[in-house]
A and B are shown apart, each in its own frame.
Chain A
Amino acid sequence: MAQAVVAAESGAVAHAAHEEHTTNTGVSNPKLAMWLFLSSEALLFGAFISTYFLYRGRDAQFRKGPTPDKMFNIPFTSVTSFILLMSSLTMVLALAAIQRGDHRRLRIWLLATALFGATFVGGQVFEFTEFYRQGLTLSSNMFGTTFFVLTGLHGVHVTVGIIWLLLLYGRSMQNRLPTEKSLAVEMAGLYWHYVDIVWIFIFFAVYLIPQH
């Protein structure tokens, strides 16, 4: 919810970008707000990632349900992770496009970024369904509890990012996203890259560090 607010405010403030006065720090207000908000988000993910690590293997004597080493399909998740990381590249291209005033390419790259993001989320939905079929639920064991909640939280963040990108795309289609409002795209970009970086941590923590 909170990131949606930042999205709305940054979009609105970008309208008034030409009125902006110089700031004490030299960083524009929306951008500073975004960095502060993302630093706060770091602690939210931090709490869930630490919880994941602290609970790893703690349930050996109670364990019901499947264990991670039996279920993970590392090549599949690597591919969807790669697609998510590549969406950061298209995001950068979208920002570069609006900054040079190339609105056709802006729309292409915004849509490509949203599409890559949606591919990743689709992969996650497929993975969750597959795990559920193999008997892993929220309550089957500690792995199920921590895995679904941590990766699910990240998936929600990606989904919010996709909606944000699509709203920008819609505004651009209505010609309401002129070149001088490139800050709106930049803010979405900051959020999007941040969510990607968080996934690198989660991917390493959950999938690549071997479970015993």
Chain B
Amino acid sequence: MTTVEDATAVVHAPTRKIRILERPKETTGWFSWVTTVDHKKIAIMYGTLAVFFFVVGGIEALFIRLQLAQPNGTILTAARYNEFFTMHGTTMVFLVGMPIAAAFGNYLMPLMIGARDVAFPRLNMLGFWVFAFGGFFLYSSFALGGAPDGGWFGYAPLTSTPLAQGYLPGRGPDFWAVGLIMLGIGSVATAVNFLVTILNMRAPGMTMMRMPVFVWMMLVIAFLTLFAMPPVTAALIMVFMDRNFHTNFFNAAAGGDPLMYQNLFWIFGHPEVYILILPGMGIVSEILPVFSRKPLFGYAIVVFSGIAIGFLGWGVWAHHMFASGLGPVAVSAFGLSTMLIAIPTGVKIFNWLGTVWGGAVRLRSPMLFALGFIAQFTIGGLSGVMHSIVPSDTQQTDTYFVVAHFHYVLFGGLIFAVFGGFYYWWPKFFGRIMNEPMAKLHFWLMVIGFNLTFFPMHFLGFEGQPRRTYTYPTGMGWDTMNLLATIGAFIIALSVLVFLVNVIYTSRRGPKATADPWDARTLEWSTSSPPPAYNFAHVPVVTHRDDLWHRKYTEDDEGRLVKLPAGAAVDIEDEAHAPVDPHSIHMPSPSIWPMIFALALPILGYGFVFKNYFLLAAGVVVALFGLNGWAIEPSTEPEHAEEGH
């Protein structure tokens, strides 16, 4: 445990206590990252690890595409192919989509509502470490008896049949069930934290209807996470019990019902889709007004549409199960509710277009990605509405049409929004503006690569190519489209490479950013880039929606935009760098305990997967040790302790 050694090396505290239990005090160096409770540092760790897993999941996708580039591909064995598509899906949903939302949410949400940190900084840290350990726990399965290979939604009884019966040999489904339960614990912790922060810690004057749309979307997804994780946790517990303790939850031979699994999974699974896409919608709703120099068109309608999507998202899950024989009444009801949910989504798209319409549009890279989001998400949305037509859906179920559809919403939508968000907030995150020509190259390569990969899949689906088959014979008429898709996938990989090069280039040569480089509208741009640990020297008092904008601009008698005269306008740079006595602000102190508790989870996980009682006992001991330290330690050290008196 080098961690422990390093902790003791720098702590000069009374030796009466055991030294590893001393509170860490570093503010720089790697140990400060391990023990940080600063929402901004936690966000950067979330983002870095999510991008890492994005690359890993992307490499799995490239192998899948290489295998399918030609008929009778031989690059992967069938078993390896199953592992790769399962881990690709699991990675992109649980290790990229959800953590990237946590990254943006963590960094921006407290800044946007004028808070100094989230409500529970150490719970926040726990969320990150559970994600990190959970991710590596899942991937360790490749070395420890087989990766998950039952698809990202792991249908029972395929996954729940006991190991001895050999449907899925290897430990894959066990790792999958235990890993997802683990990640769910972290997600719920983060959701509770975000909810309390947004509901309780807004700056004076920051009423709910003055909050940026991004914060609203984080509020909605936190509620969705809170209520969506328990049903899937129940389903995963049942899978694990069926597989390891021979219960009969999904064993039809004893009266169990496989449809029960599908219901429980998709009651989680469909809200999960909105958990993934709503942050993207939030990001786009922030970028478009800034680069159109207009307020968001129909703010209230956009907010209520987001809430409506959140509510309706609970009533559409069975459209994932139309082919399973639910009966005409259920199928019609879910078909109708699926059509209904297209309405708030369509409303949002028109509001975004209304925002851009007639604006002084600046086509900088964040704007390009936001516009790409709108176009591609609309295509994905339209193929989604096609799935609400039940006979048509039955035809498309488990074909490449479905693959095309959800990649248009999640890649063409979410991932484009995320990259737009990176280019937009990079100056705030790291104090440097990213290189614009490389950003534009990234955008165009990604648009071309993405559409070349996934548009042909619509046709492949119509022509009957089933998803999840590791190869196909010649003469099916699928050869050209598959080859195009593979070429597209490598163009996407190239575009991501351009992004990574840009990241390295910017960190060395990127121009320094001012507090407000885009002439933006929301509070995060009113503090320095990057912001100090305490975010704001003085807690802002909010008087308007888009408060920062109203501190800079007003309208003349004819409704034209004019800059506030010097003196009346607040000088953002002055305010962002206002001198402040750090001792006047009490920030939460760093802590090691949440990480120690999080460490208990993979230990328990391995204990469950391998039914090793020693590991289970060790896990319980580590968990209690971490919790006890956590409970005894105050969230903020008293002032005199910090100064070493």
Task: Please say whether chains A and B are actual partners in one complex.
Answer: yes
Which residues of chain A from 137 to 179 have any CB-CB distance to chain B below 8 Å in the complex? 138-139, 141-142, 144-146, 148-149, 153, 167, 176
Contact partners of B195 in chain A: CB under 8 A: 32-33, 36
Distance between A66 CB and nearest chain B CB, rounded to angstroms: 15
Distance between B420 CB and nearest chain A CB, rounded to angstroms: 30
Per the bound structure, the CA–CA distance linking A138 and B196 in Å amounts to 40
B324 within 8 A of partner (CB): no
Contact partners of B257 in chain A: CB under 8 A: 54-55, 58
Distance between A14 CB and nearest chain B CB, rounded to angstroms: 9
Which residues of chain B from 239 to 254 have any CB-CB distance to chain A below 8 Å in the complex? 241, 245-249, 253-254
A72 within 8 A of partner (CB): no
Contact partners of A41 in chain B: CB under 8 A: 230
Find the A residue at minimum CB distance from B120.
Answer: A9
Contact of B260 (CB < 8 Å), options: A11, A32, A51: A51
Could you mark each residue 215-258 of chain B with 1 if its beta carbon is under 8 Å from any beta carbon of chain A, else 0? 00000000000110111011101100100011111000111110
Contact partners of B192 in chain A: CB under 8 A: 6, 33, 36-37, 40
Are B255 and A43 in contact (CB-based, < 8 A)? no
B528 within 8 A of partner (CB): no
Per the bound structure, the CA–CA distance linking A8 and B586 in Å amounts to 21
Per the bound structure, the CA–CA distance linking A46 and B228 in Å amounts to 12
Contact of B196 (CB < 8 Å), options: A7, A32, A59: A32
Distance between A174 CB and nearest chain B CB, rounded to angstroms: 10
B503 within 8 A of partner (CB): no
Contact of B247 (CB < 8 Å), options: A48, A58, A145, A176: A145
A211 within 8 A of partner (CB): no
Contact partners of A42 in chain B: CB under 8 A: 230
| Max chain B Cβ within 10 angstroms of own Cβ: one of A2, A9, A46, A142 | A9
Per the bound structure, the CA–CA distance linking A25 and B219 in Å amounts to 15
Which residues of chain B from 190 to 226 have any CB-CB distance to chain A below 8 Å in the complex? 191-193, 195-196, 199-202, 226
Contact partners of A124 in chain B: CB under 8 A: none
Are A8 and B631 in contact (CB-based, < 8 A)? yes
A12 within 8 A of partner (CB): yes
Distance between A44 CB and nearest chain B CB, rounded to angstroms: 4
A47 within 8 A of partner (CB): yes
Per the bound structure, the CA–CA distance linking A25 and B196 in Å amounts to 10
Stretch at the interface among A15-23, A114-122, A127-135: A15-23
A27 within 8 A of partner (CB): yes
Are A1 and B248 in contact (CB-based, < 8 A)? no
Which residues of chain A from 41 to 74 have any CB-CB distance to chain B below 8 Å in the complex? 41-44, 46-48, 51, 54-55, 58-63
Are A43 and B230 in contact (CB-based, < 8 A)? yes
Per the bound structure, the CA–CA distance linking A15 and B637 in Å amounts to 10
Contact partners of B199 in chain A: CB under 8 A: 24-25, 32
Stretch at the interface among B494-502, B576-584, B622-630: B622-630
| Contact A141-B248, Cβ < 8 Å, known A33-B192, A43-B231, A47-B231 | yes
Are B264 and A15 in contact (CB-based, < 8 A)? no
Q: Using a Cβ cutoff of 8 Å, how many contacts connect chains A and B?
A: 164
The interface on chain B, measured as residues whose beta carbon lies within 8 A of the other chain's beta carbons, has a size of: 56
Per the bound structure, the CA–CA distance linking A3 and B432 in Å amounts to 41
Distance between A134 CB and nearest chain B CB, rounded to angstroms: 18
Are A48 and B630 in contact (CB-based, < 8 A)? no
Main secondary structure on chain B at its contact with chain A? Answer: helix
Contact partners of B229 in chain A: CB under 8 A: 40
Contact of A13 (CB < 8 Å), options: B120, B126, B231: B120
Distance between A80 CB and nearest chain B CB, rounded to angstroms: 24
A78 within 8 A of partner (CB): no
Contact of B202 (CB < 8 Å), options: A24, A61, A146: A24
Contact partners of B264 in chain A: CB under 8 A: 47, 51
Find the A residue at minimum CB distance from B267.
Answer: A47
| Contact A55-B255, Cβ < 8 Å, known A12-B633, A32-B196 | yes
Contact partners of B34 in chain A: CB under 8 A: none
Are B601 and A1 in contact (CB-based, < 8 A)? yes
Are A7 and B631 in contact (CB-based, < 8 A)? yes
What are 28 residue pairs bridging A and B, where the CB atoms are less than 8 Å apart in the complex? A1-B623, A5-B627, A8-B597, A9-B123, A9-B630, A11-B631, A19-B586, A23-B201, A29-B119, A32-B200, A33-B120, A33-B192, A36-B196, A37-B188, A40-B229, A44-B230, A44-B234, A51-B249, A59-B248, A62-B254, A62-B255, A139-B254, A142-B248, A142-B255, A142-B256, A148-B247, A167-B628, A167-B631
The 4 closest A-B pairs by CB, nearest first: A59-B255, A47-B234, A11-B631, A43-B230
Residues of A within 8 A of B (CB): 1-2, 4-9, 11-13, 15-16, 19, 23-25, 27, 29, 32-33, 36-37, 39-44, 46-48, 51, 54-55, 58-63, 138-139, 141-142, 144-146, 148-149, 153, 167, 176
Residues of B within 8 A of A (CB): 119-120, 122-123, 126, 185, 188-189, 191-193, 195-196, 199-202, 226-227, 229-231, 233-235, 237-238, 241, 245-249, 253-257, 260, 264, 586, 593, 597, 601, 604, 623, 626-628, 630-636
